[in-house]
Amino acid sequence: MKNTYQLSTLTLLLLLLSQISFAQRKAKPNPLKEAVVASVDQRFESLTDLSDQIWSFEEIAFQETQSAEALSDYAEQLGFKVTRGVAEIPTAFVAEYGSGKPIIGILGEFDALPGLSQNKVPYKSPLNEGNPGHGCGHNLFGVASLGAAAAIKDLIESGEIQGTVRFYGTPAEEKFFGKLWMVRAGLFDDVDVVMDWHPSAETKTAVQKGLALVDFQVEFYGQAAHASSDPWNGRSTGDALELYTTGINYYREHIKPTVRIHYHIQDAGKVVNVVPDYSRIWVRVRDSSREGLIPVWKRVEAMAEGAAIMANVDYKVSLISGVHEVLVNRTGSAALQKNLETLGPISYTEEEQDFAKKIQEATGKPQIGLVSKIEPMEETAEHSMGGSTDVGDVSWVVPTIRLSATTAPNGTPWHSWAVVASSGMSIGHKGMAYAAKALSMTMVDLFENPELVESVKSEFKEKKGDYVYKGFVPDGPPPINSNLQ
């Protein structure tokens, strides 16, 4: 009995010592990760100033001249080699530092949304009535990514890691999907892994696929006439437009729950007493995969011909652009998750929580304030819903690791004034800095661990299989100055 007791005690002691040893090993700091966190903290003031500049510029898709200039100038001042106007897009650019492999890329967006201008207050109050605003937090997006790239640049410059860091200034995510033309131009062909993040009301690894999407425009051409004295001489494109949208809306009963169809009537005639001879509509179709998207897209396109026949008018369908769903990389996401857990949640002041609750009150949401926790890594759903992004197209040509970081209160309506307000003050600034730290820490893992890079690439190849990427993008240059603006 005595020997048994002694053995049990010894076993428990050894187990306890092994657990302490494991905890010590787990808690052992990585000096390079500490360095990149310190780098972001050191630059916090300049990054915040840059973010606030972009917030104030209020520039929409392909018109982000000041925003692109501010970001690329900042990168150049830090010592990056900057190439402007890539992929035939004046506001797209690449900033690079270092040489050789691995090449780790990071994406940065900076376009605003029309009509969402807003002051930095927790109630609706336009700063410049009718102007755009950063209702998706992209003023934070590009700056945080550049801050992460700068932290890695510091390590390459000091000789502590080897390789290349490359920041991509990617315009027009909200409307035309500028990354499509950047992918087409081959700008990602030599990259090993790409990092990405997006402002959110949660902090977590982004492991859902989102929706594939396609945008197209339908134009109807008819014959004008006096709407009262001789309407029989008119062939109304307004009729065609109404017949077309009626067809789309009846079709909704017969599509899968994963499908979304939206449209925006851009031109339905000018005055009530003229039979319109021209009308135009922008149509968007989404589904959880490109395979599911294509037949719905083609069916909705075909309806335009039926509407034109019934109204006795001519028609034209033009592809604008479209995006793939995201090819999720869980190997890379697991590495990111560990860094989120190391960083821990964002801390907020009472004033910030009060601001958040007032936004929630103004938008009819539960007044719970900012949720400060690190969400566990989710399973990737077969049919994940939500929005769409041209990051999906990047993810089909290079492995992509993605993050969501809290920049607005829980329950905040996205693409709204409430996000604009949060993105221009300390709540957004804290999320921006957090994202820069988490992204740069994960990039340290990639630079330090070639086996991790190979594992990330191996998962990418396995999931992509024999699919040959082809973007939903028309021939010719990007629609910088088209009538789509």
Closest of 92, 328, 102 to residue 187, by C-alpha: 92
Question: Could you tell me how many helices (H) and strands (E) the chain has, helices first?
Answer: 14, 13
Band (7; pLDDT cuts 50, 70, 90): very low
| 126 pLDDT above the threshold of 70 | yes
pLDDT band at residue 16, thresholds of 50, 70 and 90? low
Q: What is the mean pLDDT of residues 377-397?
A: 94
Cis peptide leading into residue 477 (ω within 30°)? no
Tell if the pTM clears 0.85, that is, is over it: yes
pLDDT score recorded for residue 4: 45
- The answer to whether residue 80 scores a pLDDT higher than 90 is yes
56-60 long-range Cβ contacts below 8 angstroms, 24+ apart = 57/112, 58/112, 58/117, 58/127, 58/128, 58/131, 58/132, 58/133, 58/134, 59/110, 59/111, 59/112, 59/132, 60/111, 60/112, 60/113, 60/114, 60/132, 60/174, 60/175
The pLDDT tens digits for 405-423 are: 999 999 999 999 999 999 9
Question: What average pLDDT is seen over the chain?
Answer: 94
Q: Residue 327: its pLDDT value, please?
A: 98
Region for 384 from its dihedrals, namely left if φ exceeds 0, alpha if ψ lies in -120 to 50, beta otherwise: beta
Amino acid (one-letter) located at 371: V
Tallying the residues shown for the chain, one arrives at 485
Q: How far apart are CA 104 and CA 483, in angstroms?
A: 37
Q: What is the pLDDT of residue 386?
A: 86
Report pLDDT digits (tens) over 215-244.
999 999 999 999 999 999 999 999 999 999
Question: In the prediction, which pLDDT does 6 show?
Answer: 47
Q: What is the pLDDT of residues 250-279, one digit of tens each?
A: 999 999 999 999 999 999 999 999 999 999
> For the chain, which residues make up each domain, given as ranges?
31-209+325-464, 212-322
More confident position, 386 or 15: 386
> What tokens appear for 440 in the block?
């740069």
> How far is it, in rounded angstroms, from Cα 312 to Cα 235?
6
Q: What is the pLDDT of residues 343-359, one digit of tens each?
A: 999 999 999 999 999 99
- Kindly tell me if the per-residue pLDDT of 81 is higher than 90: yes
Q: Which pLDDT value is given to residue 1?
A: 44
The mean pLDDT value for 101-110 works out to 98
**CA–CA dist 424, 418 (Å, integer):** 10
Q: What are the residues whose beta carbons fall under 8 Å from the beta carbon of 10, sequence distance 6 or more? A: none
Query: What does the pLDDT read at residue 27?
Result: 56
Q: Which amino acid is at 434?
A: Y
Report pLDDT for 482: 67
pLDDT of residue 385: 84
**Model pLDDT, residue 18:** 53
Going by pLDDT thresholds of 50, 70 and 90, the confidence category of residue 483 is low
Q: Which helix (H) or strand (E) holds 221?
A: strand 212-221
> Which residues lie below 8 Å from residue 6, measured CB to CB, with a gap of 6+?
none
20 has pLDDT over 70: no
Amino acid in position 39: S
Task: Give the C-alpha separation, 113 to 121, whole Å.
Answer: 18
Q: In CATH terms, are 31-209+325-464 and 212-322 the same topology?
A: no
**pLDDT digits over 284-304, tens only?**
999 999 999 999 999 999 999
Q: In sequence order, what are the residues at sequence separation of 6 or more whose Cβ sits closer than 8 angstroms to the Cβ of residue 149?
A: 75, 80, 95, 97, 106, 165, 166, 167, 440
Q: Which CATH number fits domain 31-209+325-464: 3.40.190.10, 2.30.110.10, 1.10.150.20, 3.40.630.10?
A: 3.40.630.10
pLDDT in tens, 440-467: 999 999 999 999 999 999 999 999 999 9
**Euclidean distance between CA atoms 36 and 13, whole angstroms:** 38
212-322 CATH choice from 3.30.465.10, 3.30.70.360, 3.30.930.10, 1.10.357.140: 3.30.70.360
